[in-house]
Amino acid sequence: MTGAATLFSGNSLLAATAPKKDKLGIALVGLGYYSTDLLAPALQMTEKCYLAGIVTGTPAKAQQWKAKYKIPDKNIYNYQNFDQIANNPDIDVVYVVLPPSMHREFVVKAAKAGKHVLCEKPMAPSVADCEAMIAACKDNKVKLAIGYRCQHDPNIQAVRKVARDQKFGKVKMITSAAGYFDARTDHWKQKKALGGGVMGDMGVYALQGARLATGEEPISVIAQASTTRPDIYKEVEETMMFMLDFPSGARASCQTSFGINMNYLQVNYEKGWLKLEPQSGYLGNKGSMSDGTIIDFPLTNQQAKQLDEDCLALMNQTDLLAPGEEGLRDIRVVEAIYQSVRSGKSVKI
């Protein structure tokens, strides 16, 4: 691999001589709804990156994207020839947008190809997968970021600031919910082998709401899973409810579902409260505080902001807002939640 493709590789000589780019080229791996309807449009708005390539197993999609986004043939890959991306200087970053069961394989492949990696959430089905992904990126001297778009939202950042500043004193109780009614009957989210189940998908938003609002990591959890449509949710849960305990004594009651429309965060402090509804909306999140403060920072596009900020950090070699370790922290809790469901008992994390 030569030239600009090695700008951020472990080879210091090549890195020193490669021209610095104004924009990083991103290849999207997997062209489902999120790539098609959200990431690709967002990449038309970004300043620090652009849509350079695609990886798809569907030739018809490849032709459609080629025509729509003027993607050259040399930047179009399938899952069989993916490894050849190592030789393409146009592509600096690989964004893995596949079912969670495939994240580890393609994050590791991208890292071995010398490319930085963005990975959609949930990071992976297991802690072991997450650790392997982090290790592969470190071993190959590339960076790994998780697609936590909400952490780039100034409204979510305002919630985190309240906890850091202790504006209303200590956090006492949190209620965090994220869910929607999914009418689909045959989707990867309903298949265990593909990493389905609501906890890893919408449940991560409910979990992040509690973690970010406290600024702490939970120390124990008790959880209960349920399903109202067993004909559809045969292998995985449709709804999950879980209670988290934090080191400070704060507690969080969290709910997530593929059968219920809900999206909100309420934080009760010693001397006040904060509410956010929605707390994980694509168009931004809005809320208020007990002192009359309104939380409604303008935001043009969450995905564009996430992509630009991640790529700027890569170019400047500064810390990523949500590195692989952040995804691992969530999956560690998710594993404990499933353990609690199986045992019917509280589980230490």
Q: What is the mean pLDDT of residues 205-219?
A: 98
The bridge status of strand 259-269 relative to strand 273-276 is: antiparallel
Residue owning tokens 């919408």: 202
pLDDT at 20: 79
CATH classification of the domain holding 137 = 3.40.50.720
Same-domain pairing of 163 and 117: no
Q: Is residue 62 included in any domain, yes or no?
A: yes
Would you report the helix, strand and coil content of the chain in percent, each value rounded to 5?
Answer: 40, 25, 35
Is residue 9 scored above 70 in pLDDT? no
By the 8 A CB rule, do 66 and 58 touch?
Answer: no
pLDDT one-digit tens code per residue, 238-280: 999 999 999 999 999 999 999 999 999 999 999 999 999 999 9
Domain shared by 192 and 339, yes or no: yes
C-alpha 134/C-alpha 262 separation (Å) is 32
Q: Is the pLDDT of residue 11 over 70?
A: no
Would you please indicate which residues are annotated as catalytic (active-site) residues? Answer: 121, 205
Contacts of 104-111 with C-beta under 8 Å, sequence gap 24+, read 104/129, 104/132, 104/133, 106/29, 106/82, 107/133, 107/136, 107/137, 107/144, 108/132, 108/133, 108/136, 109/82, 109/83, 110/29, 110/85, 110/142, 111/136, 111/137, 111/139, 111/140, 111/142, 111/144
From residue 55, how far is each of 18, 80, 122, 286 by CA, in Å?
26, 10, 20, 35
Q: What is the mean pLDDT of the chain?
A: 94
Q: What is the pLDDT of residue 19?
A: 61
- Full domain range(s) for residue 195: 154-298+328-348
Residue 145 β-bridge partners: 118, 323
For residue 120, give both structure tokens: 């959609």
Please indicate, yes or no, whether residues 135 and 190 belong to a single structural domain of this protein: no
Is pTM beyond 0.75? Reply is yes
Domain count, the chain: 2
Average pLDDT over residues 104-127: 98
- Answer yes or no: is 320 within a domain: no
Both tokens assigned to 308: 């630009």
Residue 225, C-beta contacts closer than 8 angstroms, at least 6 positions apart: 199, 237, 239, 240, 341
Quick one: pLDDT at residue 16? 38
Helix (H, G, I), strand (E, B) or coil at 19: coil
- The amino acid occupying position 185 is T
* 323 belongs to a structural domain: no
Burial of 188 (0-12, 13-18, 19+ CB in 10 A): middle
84 and 164 in a single domain? The answer is no
- 172-180 average pLDDT score: 98
Residue 288 placed within a domain? yes
Mean pLDDT, range 154-183, rounded to an integer:
97
Please indicate, yes or no, whether residues 40 and 78 belong to a single structural domain of this protein: yes
- Residue 312 is encoded by which pair of tokens? 């700027």
Looking at residue 6, its pLDDT comes to 38
Is a pLDDT exceeding 90 seen at residue 1? Answer: no
**What is the Cβ-side half-sphere exposure of residue 93, based on CA atoms within 13 angstroms?**
27
